[in-house]
Amino acid sequence: MLNFLILLTFLGWFRAVESSDIMRSACEISVTKCEHVQNKDCFGASLPYQQTAPGAFTGDVVRQNEIRARLQLWSALRRVPQCWEVIQLLLCSVYLPQCKFDGMANVSLVQKPSRELCDLVQTRCRIVELYGGWPEFLKCHQKHFSKGCLVSMNDIAV
Domains in the chain (CATH in brackets) are 30-138 (1.10.2000.10)
- Reported pTM: 0.77
pLDDT value at residue 25: 59
pLDDT value at residue 53: 94
pLDDT value at residue 11: 31
Query: Can you give the three-state secondary structure of 13-52, one letter per residue?
Result: HHHHHHHHHHHHHHHEEEECCCEECCCCEECCEECCCCEE
Q: Regarding beta strands 51-52 and 35-36, do their DSSP bridges make them parallel or antiparallel, or are they unpaired?
A: antiparallel
pLDDT along the chain (158 residues), means of 10: 31 32 66 92 89 89 89 94 95 94 91 94 95 93 88 46
